[in-house]
Amino acid sequence: MSSAEVDLVSFIDFTKCECLNAATGSWENCLKQGLRSTETAVSSECDEQLILTVGFQQRVKLSKVQIRGPVGTAPKVVKIFLNTSGFSFDDTDSRAPTQVLTLSEPNTIIQLDHLKFQDVSNLSLFIENNQNGGELTQINEIVLHGVPYSTTNVSELKKVAE
């Protein structure tokens, strides 16, 4: 990770996050420092597929994604879709992913195509299958590395005296 890159957890807007096909529980814990990696945060419910949508408070540049899960049930093929709203399982066939990741280990850091991830307001991770091909996919941790765009907080601007 370069000196400018950070864990983008502090830039996630959790009100703009959702998970489809998750068993009950706090799936957001796989994103939160201090809670992720302590236990399985999200498990699939009906089959091995999951869609996790993550919204950001401001635009970011993504550089790496780290996904960790238990041996055997960790994700294998992950398709990333950018800047989509209301993303669902129907969209996984009708839209082209921005990048497809094939994870060979249950704890993998993947370098993303930096040209495709320059202006991200949200992303959807479609977990297509898992390491052992079973019906259950589990994720302990997702870490998104990158750089937030510098923005001006208009509320902090002050009128200049004439």
pLDDT averaged over the chain? Answer: 88
Q: What band does 1 get if pLDDT is binned at 50, 70 and 90?
A: very low
Beta strand 77-82 with 99-102 is antiparallel
Over residues 95-115, mean pLDDT:
93
- For the four alpha carbons of 104, 106, 108 and 113, in that order, the dihedral sign comes to positive
Residue-wise pLDDT tens digits, 34-85:
666 666 678 899 999 999 999 999 999 999 999 999 999 999 999 999 999 8
- Chain centroid to CA 150: 21
- pLDDT at res. 34: 67
Stated pTM of the model: 0.86
CA distance 79 to 49: 11
Question: How many other β-carbons are positioned within 10 Å of the β-carbon of residue 117?
Answer: 21
Tokens 């495709």, located at residue: 116
